[in-house]
Amino acid sequence: MKHTKIKDLLCCTKPLTDVTAKGWVRTFRNNQFIALNDGSCLNNIQCVVDFENTPEETLKRITTGAAVSVFGDLVESQGKGQKYEIQVKKIEILGDSDAEKFPMQPKKHSLEFLRANAHLRVRTNAFGAIMRVRSVLSYAVHKYFQDKGFVYVNTPVITGADAEGAGEMFQVTSLPLDNLPKNETGGIDYKQDFFGRHTNLTVSGQLEGETFAMALGQIYTFGPTFRAENSNTSRHLAEFWMIEPEVAFNDLDDNMDLAEDFIQYVIKYAMDNCAEDLQFLEQRLLEEEKSKPQAERSEMALLEKLKFVLENNFKRVSYTEAIDILKDSTPNKKKKFQFIIDEWGADLQSEHERFLVEKHFKCPVILYDYPANIKSFYMRLNEDQKTVRAMDILFPGIGEIVGGSQREERYDVLVQKMRVLGIDEEELWWYLDTRRFGTAVHSGFGLGFERLVLFVTGMTNIRDVIPFPRTPMNAEF
Footprint of ligand 4AD on this chain (CB under 6 A)? 163-164, 204, 206, 227, 229, 236-237, 240, 242, 244, 400-405, 444-448, 450-451
Residue 227 interacts, among ligand 4AD, Mg ion, none and using kind-specific CB cut-offs from 5 to 8 Å, with ligand 4AD
Shortest distance, position 163 Cβ to ligand 4AD, whole Å: 6
> For Mg ion, how many residues bind (rule: CB under 5 A)?
1
- Tell me if 403 contacts Mg ion by CB under 5 A: yes
Shortest distance, position 144 Cβ to ligand 4AD, whole Å: 16
Written as one letter, the residue type at 126 is: A
Shortest distance, position 242 Cβ to ligand 4AD, whole Å: 5
Shortest distance, position 205 Cβ to ligand 4AD, whole Å: 8
Written as one letter, the residue type at 283 is: Q
Find the part of the chain contacting Mg ion (CB under 5 A) among 218-226, 403-411, 414-422, 463-471: 403-411
- 264 vs 405 by CB, closer to Mg ion: 405
- 229 vs 251 by CB, closer to ligand 4AD: 229
Residue 131 interacts, among Mg ion, ligand 4AD, none and using kind-specific CB cut-offs from 5 to 8 Å, with none
Find the part of the chain contacting Mg ion (CB under 5 A) among 8-16, 146-154, 396-404, 463-471: 396-404
Shortest distance, position 401 Cβ to Mg ion, whole Å: 10
Residue 448 interacts, among Mg ion, ligand 4AD, none and using kind-specific CB cut-offs from 5 to 8 Å, with ligand 4AD
Shortest distance, position 424 Cβ to ligand 4AD, whole Å: 18
Shortest distance, position 162 Cβ to Mg ion, whole Å: 15
Residue 445 interacts, among Mg ion, ligand 4AD, none and using kind-specific CB cut-offs from 5 to 8 Å, with ligand 4AD
Shortest distance, position 405 Cβ to Mg ion, whole Å: 10
- 127 vs 445 by CB, closer to ligand 4AD: 445
Task: Point out the residue whose Cβ comes nearest to Mg ion.
Answer: 403
Residue 124 interacts, among Mg ion, ligand 4AD, none and using kind-specific CB cut-offs from 5 to 8 Å, with none
Q: How far apart are CA 272 and CA 284, in angstroms?
A: 19
Strands 199-201 and 218-226: unpaired
Find the part of the chain contacting Mg ion (CB under 5 A) among 35-43, 85-93, 195-203, 401-409: 401-409
Please write down the HEC assignment for all residues of the chain. CCCCCHHHHHCCCCCEEEEEEEEEEEEEECCCEEEEECCCCCCCEEEECCHHHCCHHHHHCCCCCCEEEEEEEEEECCCCCCCEEEEEEEEEEEECCCCCCCCCCCCCCCHHHHHHCCCCHHHCHHHHHHHHHHHHHHHHHHHHHHHCCCEECCCCCEECCCCCCCCCCCEECCCCCCCCCECCCCCECHHHCCCCCCEEECCCCHHHHHHHHHHHCEEEEEEEEECCCCCCCCCCCCEEEEEEEEEECCCHHHHHHHHHHHHHHHHHHHHHHCHHHHHHHHHHHHHHHHCCCHHHCCCCCHHHHHHHHHHCCCEEEEHHHHHHHHHCCHHHHCCCCCCCCCCCCCCCCHHHHHHHHHHHHCCCEEEEEEEHHHCCCCECECCCCCEEEEEEEEECCCEEEEEEEEECCCHHHHHHHHHHHCCCCCCCHHHHHHHHCCCCCEEEEEEEHHHHHHHHHCCCCHHHCCCCCCECCECCC
CB atoms within 10 A of CB 257: 11
- Tell me if 205 contacts Mg ion by CB under 5 A: no
Residue 433 interacts, among Mg ion, ligand 4AD, none and using kind-specific CB cut-offs from 5 to 8 Å, with none
Shortest distance, position 172 Cβ to ligand 4AD, whole Å: 18
Q: With both helix axes pointing from N to C terminus, report the angle between 449-457 and 275-290 in degrees, rounded to the nearest 10.
A: 80
Residue 38 interacts, among Mg ion, ligand 4AD, none and using kind-specific CB cut-offs from 5 to 8 Å, with none
Residue 401 interacts, among Mg ion, ligand 4AD, none and using kind-specific CB cut-offs from 5 to 8 Å, with ligand 4AD
- 364 vs 403 by CB, closer to Mg ion: 403
Residue 351 interacts, among ligand 4AD, Mg ion, none and using kind-specific CB cut-offs from 5 to 8 Å, with none
Shortest distance, position 391 Cβ to ligand 4AD, whole Å: 9
Find the part of the chain contacting Mg ion (CB under 5 A) among 5-13, 232-240, 297-305, 400-408: 400-408
CA-based angle 249:251:254, to the nearest 5? Answer: 100
Which residues would be at the binding site for Mg ion (CB under 5 A)? 403
